[in-house]
Structure 1
Amino acid sequence: MRTLVTERNFFILLSGVFINGVGGGVYAVSGMLLVLHLSGSVLYSGFAFFGVTLASAMAFLIAPFANYVTYKKGLIVCEILKSALLFSIPLFYLTVGLNVYYVLVLLFAVALLAQFTYPIESTIMPIIVGRDNIVKANSYLHTIREGLDIAFVAGAGILVAVIGPVQAIFITAICHLLSSLSYTFYNFQQPTISKKKESISDLLAVYKIDLKAGIDYMRNSLIPKMIVSIAFINLAMGIMIPNLPAFALIKGGGNEAVYGFYLAAMSFGILIGALVTSKVKEVRFGRLIIISFSITGMLWMGSSLLPVVPSIVFFCLGSISIGIINILIFSAIQQQVETSFVGRVVTVLTSAASIGAPFGALAGGIIGSTLTPVVPVFLCGLAMIIFSVTWLCSTILRKLPKIEEAKLFPDKRIEEAL
């Protein structure tokens, strides 16, 4: 790892991760709080989260356009665009004033740009560190990212409480600008972009064929059942997350810093889940999911009813199962899917599973504004218990062996999917 850190391009990547960790933590807190302040209603927080999660669900449509630019240029331009968009918020705030609808559109646009950069960042990793070091490098970066999320999100809550959400977003804009400057120092081999570019329609036609092959490949596997399960979890999370800013204000007696503490608690719980995955992977997968998510449901229901300190602790502990299921499912896919199909299967899985979150966001906004933000948090916990019961009632899912022995895909040749 010491050798990797001293390598120029990997160090630049780490610098970008650190800078974006600062800006991302501030943005995660200030963006949703700004919408809540401008609108005075969690309904608009639901609209905001709807836009952000809709962008994630559209990832499979945006990723192909990364083929039209070199990796370095794509990263630099996207970071500059994010910075420019975010700079407009304090600019309008000081001049003509801010409109909540403008902020909603801007949050959606920034999320779309992020979907463009994710595949580039994933692609350049093996180029920078070499395929032999990719596992170590990814593990190292994952730990750093989660650690930064915990530290910076918690700190961002305090920062936003002191200087306000608009001023905090100005800091995020600066971070994206600094990140773009750091990427200019990359010197790894860039892909050659053909001067005779394919038309967008041709590119999308090829991508459609690849996407269909990925869908056909996993049609008779257990993945469709898992997509439904993960979509249901995302639906429940979508109901809860837009209400967290208002929920935190209620629990914290109006202290905006408490929202950052709740987000940090979730990140910390997910990190714990990722760290303990190697210990619990020997447990039968079906049993692990049923037990862990029923516990999550009870903890989050308790979090909605308890005072702020035990509420945050319960919220953190309930997030552990999210980290576990993320690592186990994607590890199983990487192990069992032919290399040429991994990208397509993951794209279909993540995009399809993300569909639940936007609709959950809309429902959460309506429920929170009609009743109280406490209710969606309680309902999310209840949904986790319902999720556990559905797995318990499904013979196939309930009896799944430990993840390394679980046969997610039937034996078949690649030609059958093509």
Structure 2
Amino acid sequence: MKAFFIERNFLILLSGVFINGIGGGVYAVSGMLLVLHLSGSVLYSGFAFFAVSLANAMGFLVAPLANYFKYKNGLVICGFLKAALLFTIPLCYITVGLNVYYVIFLLFTISLLSQFTYPIESTILPIIVGKDNIIQANSYLQTVREAMDVVFVAGAGILVAFIGSVQAILITAICMLLSALAYTLFNFQQPEESKDKQSVGNVLDVYKSDLKAGIGYIRYSLIPKMIVSIIFINLAMGVMTTNLPAFALIKGGSEATYGFYMAALSLGIMIGTIMTSKIKEIGFGRLTIISFSGTGVLWMGTALLPVIPSLILFCLGAISIGIINILIFSAVQQQVETLFIGRVITVLSSAASIGIPFGALAGGVIGETFTPVVPVFICGIAMCVFSFSWLSSSVLRKLPKIDEAKLFPAKQVEEV
């Protein structure tokens, strides 16, 4: 067992991830089903997913604000805020009633708050475990996340079918509250640079400087060569994910089936996460091309086959996502200095997710006009096109194994 695994702060972070895994699994299913039930339309599911993904794309504007807070305080305060917002859903339900637009607004706000905390979690991990243990620590955390999702996302569909979406969201609110309380126990050493930010007089100028620094790191990297194809694939993912609740109801006939599809997605990502350490020696370009072309074929089968084989293929297709996510973010955490990790990850994630909001709107229209099966099939085709685009680029195709792929060349911070 790695020494960092029994370190106090890592165990606290792991506990928070575990608790959030319970709440997040329930929330992932109940939130979208609540919108579908309140509106009765796939189009409104598109609006909801547009709101959530728009918040993700706006993350690069929010993340630099984390530099003006102690990391621990940022995690705790945002945890309490998210819990308080979620508690208003059952409160409105039993008093004045729920409006679909209010629910969509809450989904947007909570997702925006997550853009503040996500880079903090990514930043404190190297502080807690050391940069030499990043890949192993990420694998532990991501495995826990996905294992929790497999269990609780699948269970959430059944839970919603029995107790309803609103009551299930109450469980998520309680979990958010408990994880915030767990994070109050952190005692890691915070870098002095982040503390100094709070004493700068012109906050706006420093904020702009931080934002420019994150964008500068992206500019001096291989990411711009990848970003167009990643935006394209996320556009297709937005088209599919918007229709997944209605698609699951067509395939299985109940809310529980949506939970099973979400669990299949999480299980596939978890398998990919576990496999990462075994296959990281394969060239990153070749690995991406092979894995995503396979995902495309499998997800086209997901759209066309009955529910049981459809779930199996959906799970297998998600393996590539788990592999690529761990490799890319581990490379960022290893190659970027601590002060810039949060900003770089957020700018990268935000740029990559630009296509999702527009895919969500397009998916709502396509699903409403035709059938939710069509967008899932389109996403499978897009995966194959994505793979072909990497195959066509000599730079991306020839990328070496991730430990040798210099995604972020060592540039002086002064240049940024």
Provide the TM-score with structure 2 as the length reference: 0.90
Shift of residue 292, structure 1, vs aligned partner: 2.1
Cα deviation 1:35-92 (Å, max 9, x = unaligned) = 0000111111111111111111111111122233223322222111111111111111
Letter in 1 for 2:289: I
Q: RMSD between aligned alpha carbons?
A: 2.6
CA–CA distance in structure 1, aligned partners of residues 70 and 403 of structure 2:
37
CA–CA distance in structure 1, aligned partners of residues 22 and 184 of structure 2:
19
Letter in 2 for 1:223: I
Is 1:30–2:30 an aligned residue pair?
Answer: yes
| Alignment-derived partner of residue 205 in structure 2 | 202
Is 1:389–2:388 an aligned residue pair?
Answer: yes
Alpha carbons 1:149, 1:267 under 8 Å: kept: yes
CA 1:403/1:314 → structure 2, altered by over 3 Å: closer, same or farther? same
| Alignment-derived partner of residue 217 in structure 2 | 214
Q: Which moved more, 1:142-151 or 1:166-175?
A: 142-151
Alpha carbons 2:59, 2:350 under 8 Å: kept: yes
Q: Which moved more, 1:175-184 or 1:120-129?
A: 120-129
CA 1:338/1:166 → structure 2, altered by over 3 Å: closer, same or farther? closer
**What does residue range 46-195 of structure 1 map to in structure 2 within 5 Å?**
46-130=46-130, 133-189=133-189, 192=195
Q: Which moved more, 1:19-28 or 1:288-297?
A: 288-297
| Alignment-derived partner of residue 262 in structure 2 | 263
Shift of residue 361, structure 1, vs aligned partner: 0.7
**Structure 1 unaligned residues grouped into runs of 5+:** none
Alpha carbons 1:214, 1:417 under 8 Å: kept: no
Letter in 1 for 2:381: L
Cα deviation 1:351-404 (Å, max 9, x = unaligned) = 211101111111111111111111100110111122222233334434444445
CA–CA distance in structure 1, aligned partners of residues 286 and 122 of structure 2:
32
Alpha carbons 2:123, 2:341 under 8 Å: kept: no
Cα deviation 1:122-142 (Å, max 9, x = unaligned) = 333344445565554333222
CA–CA distance in structure 2, aligned partners of residues 63 and 34 of structure 1:
29
| Alignment-derived partner of residue 293 in structure 2 | 294
| Alignment-derived partner of residue 273 in structure 1 | 272
CA–CA distance in structure 2, aligned partners of residues 12 and 344 of structure 1:
23
Q: Which moved more, 1:50-59 or 1:185-194?
A: 185-194
Alpha carbons 2:62, 2:115 under 8 Å: kept: yes
Letter in 2 for 1:63: A
Q: Which moved more, 1:285-294 or 1:83-92?
A: 285-294
Alpha carbons 2:265, 2:314 under 8 Å: kept: yes
Instruction: State the secondary structure of the residue aligned to 1:414.
Output: coil
**What does residue range 233-272 of structure 1 map to in structure 2 within 5 Å?**
233-253=233-253, 255-272=254-271
CA–CA distance in structure 2, aligned partners of residues 248 and 355 of structure 1:
26
Letter in 2 for 1:238: G
Alpha carbons 1:69, 1:193 under 8 Å: kept: no
CA–CA distance in structure 1, aligned partners of residues 117 and 402 of structure 2:
31
CA 1:202/1:71 → structure 2, altered by over 3 Å: closer, same or farther? same
CA–CA distance in structure 2, aligned partners of residues 296 and 185 of structure 1:
41
CA–CA distance in structure 2, aligned partners of residues 333 and 17 of structure 1:
21
Is 1:360–2:395 an aligned residue pair?
Answer: no
CA–CA distance in structure 1, aligned partners of residues 255 and 149 of structure 2:
18
Cα deviation 1:167-218 (Å, max 9, x = unaligned) = 0001111111122222233344467577745343122232244135324423
Instruction: State the secondary structure of the residue aligned to 1:84.
Output: helix
Aligned length: 413
Letter in 1 for 2:328: I
**Structure 2 unaligned residues grouped into runs of 5+:** none
Letter in 2 for 1:230: I
Letter in 2 for 1:118: Y
Letter in 1 for 2:15: S
Aligned match for 1:414, one of 406, 412, 415: 412
Shift of residue 413, structure 1, vs aligned partner: 5.3
Alpha carbons 1:82, 1:113 under 8 Å: kept: yes
| Alignment-derived partner of residue 311 in structure 1 | 310
Cα deviation 1:147-178 (Å, max 9, x = unaligned) = 11211111111111111101000111111112
Letter in 2 for 1:72: K
CA–CA distance in structure 1, aligned partners of residues 413 and 170 of structure 2:
52
| Alignment-derived partner of residue 378 in structure 2 | 379
CA–CA distance in structure 2, aligned partners of residues 66 and 101 of structure 1:
29
CA–CA distance in structure 1, aligned partners of residues 374 and 68 of structure 2:
46
CA 1:393/1:206 → structure 2, altered by over 3 Å: closer, same or farther? closer
